[in-house]
Chains A and B, each alone.
Chain A
Amino acid sequence: MMTAANPWAGAAMIAAVVLSSTAGEVLTAAAMKSVGDLDEIRARSGLKGAIRAVITCPLFFAGVFFLALAFFSLLFALNHLNLSLVGPAAASLTVITNSIAAKLFLKENVDRRRWTAAALICIGVYLLAH
């Protein structure tokens, strides 16, 4: 395991998981906002219409690309680091980076309520992993 020998490499692996996951989540969210309410599209044009609306959106594929990158980064990290380190670190940091990215790129109103929830989730995930 690399944690003790080279902490910077470990941090870089966790950062890769967190950043690619955040990029994937934000791009997917942006794609779905540009597509519109899927329930309404399904009511209007059926399931095929809803699937067509999603798969004709280039942002969706960009999101899926980064989510796949996050998955393989996670596999790579798990190959070098302990699950008990990677799991909670990636899960809790992703909540924070997603909140920041949602505010910056999706212009979501991340108010005090949502920041508090993000912090509580971080601590909660940490406690569940220990």
Chain B
Amino acid sequence: MAHERLLPRQYMILGLVAICAPLGDACLSRGMTSLPAISVLHPLTLIAAVFTPWIALGIALLIGFFASYLTALSWADLTYVLPATAFGNVIIELLSRLWLHEHVSWQRWLGVILITVAVGFVAQGPSLTVHPEEAPAEEEARA
């Protein structure tokens, strides 16, 4: 399991994974709460909701998340990418403190610190497991 450090472009992709999902969820939440209650008897109103600005922005961000998530999985292990998705929780917490000026309890700050430490822990290690049968082909490609 030896692999060079990620390129700046690849760190940027992981950053997009961490940022796009919480921002997308926040936009969907903002859009859905601003709409009147939708009844299960009128499901078509959900389709109309898709075209409202906040929900459309939320969907665009979630498409961006899925595209960057798939890209990250194509060159990194699932267990390497997972902490990046968990880091989205930290971003939500920071946004709620800095942008919405909400009170964040010490338990939540502790949660933020633990997830940040976990991300730092994994980021220090190799990003991809190279299986012995793949190693010669990879060396050949590098040469």
Contacts and interface: CB of A to CB of B under 8 A. Distances in A.
A127 B71 CA distance: 30
Interface stretch (B26-34, B47-55, B82-90): B82-90
Nearest to A111: B125
A110 interface: yes
Contacts of A121: 82-83, 86, 114-115, 118
Contact of B107 (A38, A109, A130): A130
Interface of A is mostly: helix
Interface string B117-134: 111011011100101000
A29 interface: yes
Contacts of A126: 111
A117 B1 contact: no
A38 B73 CA distance: 9
B101 interface: no
Interface residues of A, number: 38
Contacts of B77: 29, 102, 106, 108-109
B71 A38 contact: yes
B78 A25 contact: yes
Interface of B: 1, 9-10, 70-71, 73-75, 77-83, 86, 89, 93, 107-108, 110-115, 117-119, 121-122, 124-126, 129, 131
16 contacts: A29-B78, A32-B73, A33-B74, A39-B71, A39-B74, A39-B75, A102-B78, A109-B1, A113-B124, A114-B79, A118-B82, A121-B114, A124-B86, A127-B107, A128-B93, A128-B112
